[in-house]
Copies of this chain bind each other. A is one copy, B any other.
C-alpha cells in the first residue's frame, strides 16, 4: 500500500488499535465486560430480565435491546448529561438502536424464550469508535449472560446463530484507514461503520461522506478493510471467551 497519511500512533492503515476485554468487570450484571479499543473504554453490562416488552407478550419469543451513554467527561471537554437536559439526543438514539439491531441479528429470539437481555453500554473514555467498541464488547457480555442462563438450566438451546463485531473505517487525506481514533475521525472525508458476523456477512453498513462524496472503488476498499478488521475482532472475542482451544 502506498499511503500518504501518517497515523498519529504510527499504526499501519489496516491495523486495529490494541483490543482488550475484561470480563466480570462488575459483580451484579449477568454479563459485564470492559472493552478497550486503544484509549476508548466502554463498560458493557448485560442484564437478564424475565419479561418482554408489552407488544411481544405471550408470543414465546425473547428480546435483546441496548442503551448507550457517555459519561460527561469521557471526552476532551465535558458534555452535559442527557438526564439533566431531560431528553436523549439524536446521536444517542441512533447508536443504541444500532447496537440492539446488531445483536438481534445473530440471535434466534425464539430459542431465547420470553425474556429480555438488556445491554447497557456506558462510555468511560472516548477516543473514537465508541459505537463499534460497544457492539464488539456487548457481544461478549451477551455471551456471558447466555452462558450463565445455560449453567443455571434456564436455557437449553443456544440462541446464538453467529458471532458479531463492528469496526469503523474511513478516508483521511485520501487514505483509507481501519479503526479511526478521534483525531482521525474528526478529519475524515468519509466515515463508515461496519457490523459483520463471524461468518463474514454484513449486518449493518453505514457510510457518510463528511465532506466529499465517495466512489464505488473507495467503497470497495473500505469494505475490504472492514472485513479484515472484523475477522481479527472475532478472533479476539473468541480468545477472551476462552473459545480458542
Contact = CB atoms under 8 A, between A and B. Distances in A.
A83 interface: yes
Decide if the interface of chain A is mainly helix, strand, loop or mixed. Answer: mixed
B71 A105 contact: no
Contacts of A209: 105, 201-204
Contacts of A97: 90, 94
Given A27-B125, A125-B28, A215-B201, A81 B69 contact: yes
Interface in A45-84: 45, 47, 49, 67, 69, 71-78, 81-84
Contact of A213 (B26, B202, B216): B202
Q: Which of A32, A75, A88, A214 has the most CB of B within 10 A?
A: A88
- One complex includes copies of this chain to the number of 6
Contact of A71 (B43, B90, B203, B214): B43
A221 to B, nearest CB: 13
A101 B162 CA distance: 33
B45 A72 contact: yes
A228 interface: no
Nearest to A213: B201
Most buried by B among A32, A78, A86, A105: A78
B83 A120 contact: no
Contact of A76 (B28, B69, B96, B101): B28
Interface of A: 26-29, 32, 39, 41, 43, 45, 47, 49, 67, 69, 71-78, 81-84, 86-90, 92-94, 96-97, 101, 105-106, 118, 120, 122, 124-125, 162, 192, 196-197, 199, 201-209, 213-216, 219, 223, 227
